[in-house]
A and B are shown apart, each in its own frame.
Chain A
Amino acid sequence: MSPELILFLVLSLVAIAAAIGMLISPNPVYSALFLVINFSTVAVFYLILGAPFIAMAQITIYAGAIMVLFLFVIMLLGAEKLAPGKVLPYQKPLAIGLAIVLMVESVYAVLARNPSDAEIIVPTEAANSIDAMRDLGIMLFSDYLLPFEVTSILLLVAMIGAIVLTKRAKGEQE
């Protein structure tokens, strides 16, 4: 077994364990922290697949900023003190049904893959180097220039929306 395969197997166990821990943890704050472990292991998967930029973004944005926001929202709502067991009656059968649909679809997608025309793309040495990021940069700032600039509008809207929703006007009482 190659070291990459061993690393993948160990980390996939950690990722699955963290995901299960996130689901069954009674305290939403612990769930969020399990999700941080999951995000971190997924970041290493991206490294194994030869995508260092995605791995970096996964750590800084998902495991970093988004989890900070998740934790703030959980503590903001006081969700960690919600009484357990308050679920809608149809929630469990619905969840089981949707999970079965997802499983069937995943298995079908793997089995139905025609091995001749859909070879798994194995990342090469070059894909894992700085060249990949250079290609990404060139594409992003030439062909995908408009989506890139529109992203800044999106960020601006999100920023103004958050301020409008949470900021009290001066002199307004709590």
Chain B
Amino acid sequence: MLLEYLAIAVLIVLATVVALIAIGLGGLFGPKKKTVNKSMPYESGMMPIGPGTRRMPVRYYLIGVLFILFDIEVVFFLPWAIVFRQLGWFGLIEMVVFVAILLVGYVYAWKKGALEWE
């Protein structure tokens, strides 16, 4: 009964293998001449500032929380989409109410500037 998920397993294995090949070939055939500049951590071409593990601003946390909440919202859409035709108008109104309540939060976040990166 798990055979219907075989495609997902094949995808995971293929993605891993392709990534390993890409790294492996580079490591195998690429010349390795280490210089000070090459050994620096890569920060999009900028000179690295401070240690790599410095504390993150709290804004990332806010973005993370908003991401989780809308993620949970999306998960509810899946069973709803499957039975959408059976539920008819009633189901549509239910989901409109659900989304409308969450939209209040979205508008609040927007108005508060929570989506802006100061």
Residues of chain A touching chain B, judged by Cβ–Cβ distance below 8 Å, are 3-4, 7, 29, 47-48, 50, 52-53, 56-57, 60-61, 64-66, 68-69, 72-73, 75-78, 80-81, 123, 125, 128, 130, 133-134, 136-138, 140-142, 145, 148-149, 151-153, 155-156, 158-160, 162-163, 166-167, 170
Contact = CB atoms under 8 A, between A and B. Distances in A.
Given A61-B75, A137-B80, A152 B101 contact: yes
Interface residues of B, number: 49
B68 A65 contact: yes
A56 B78 contact: yes
Contact of A152 (B56, B74, B102): B102
A162 B62 contact: yes
Nearest to B62: A166
A56 B82 CA distance: 15
Chain B at the A interface: SS class: helix
B112 A167 contact: yes
B104 interface: yes
Given A61-B75, A137-B83, A152-B102, A78 B55 contact: yes
Contacts of A61: 68, 71-72, 75
Contacts of A125: 1
B2 interface: yes
Nearest to A50: B1
B109 interface: yes
B56 A155 contact: no
Contacts of B79: 53, 133-134, 136-137, 140-141
Interface string B96-118: 01110110111011001110000
Given A61-B75, A151-B76, A159 B59 contact: no
A134 to B, nearest CB: 5
Interface of B: 1-2, 4-5, 53-62, 64-69, 71-76, 78-80, 82-83, 86-87, 90-91, 94, 97-99, 101-102, 104-106, 108-109, 112-114
Contacts of A50: 1
Which 3 residue pairs across A and B have the least CB separation, nearest first? A137-B79, A137-B83, A159-B105
Which of A65, A123, A142, A170 gathers the greatest number of chain B CB atoms within 10 Å? A65
A167 B113 contact: yes
Contacts of B101: 149, 152-153, 155-156
Contacts of A140: 76, 79-80
Contacts of B109: 159, 163
B17 to A, nearest CB: 18
Contacts of A133: 78-79, 82
Contacts of A52: 5
A52 to B, nearest CB: 8
